[in-house]
Structure 1
Amino acid sequence: MKEIKINTEFIKLDQLMKFANLVQSGGEAKGLIAQELVLVNGEICTQRGKKIRPGDQVEFDGEVVCVK
């Protein structure tokens, strides 16, 4: 599990995926989210702009990112 610290109230899902190096670009994140390949707190998420807050977990391709 990788921990990512943010200094704001939230980060959007596609931005987090790029920030955590899960994807190379926002466009790649958008496509993967649309294909229902990304889990937020254990549930499939299709909203690329979903607000991810501290305590949330994002999972993609076997990697888990926990936001602190």
Structure 2
Amino acid sequence: MVGVVAGSRNSLAICEDGRLHTWGWNQQGTLGHPPETKTESTPSQVQALENVKIVQATIGGCSDVNG
């Protein structure tokens, strides 16, 4: 691992080869994975970025848009 970032509901890790893995709360696909699962407890690669070398990433906090 090159870096790990933790947010309020999800986390990400960047591997030495630039692959991005995410896990945690996946409501509406916030992890970059299909939204079929609402929570992912195991890190998995973001397939949409599999041909992109990630060197830095960040995660935002949770915002309750419903009040």
Interval containing the TM-score (normalised by the shorter chain):
under 0.3
User: Scaled by the length of structure 1, what TM-score is found?
Assistant: 0.27
TM-score where L is the length of structure 2: 0.27
Give the number of the structure whose residues are more often helix, by fraction: 1
Higher RCO (CA 8 Å, separation ≥ 6 residues): 1
Q: Which has the larger radius of gyration?
A: 2
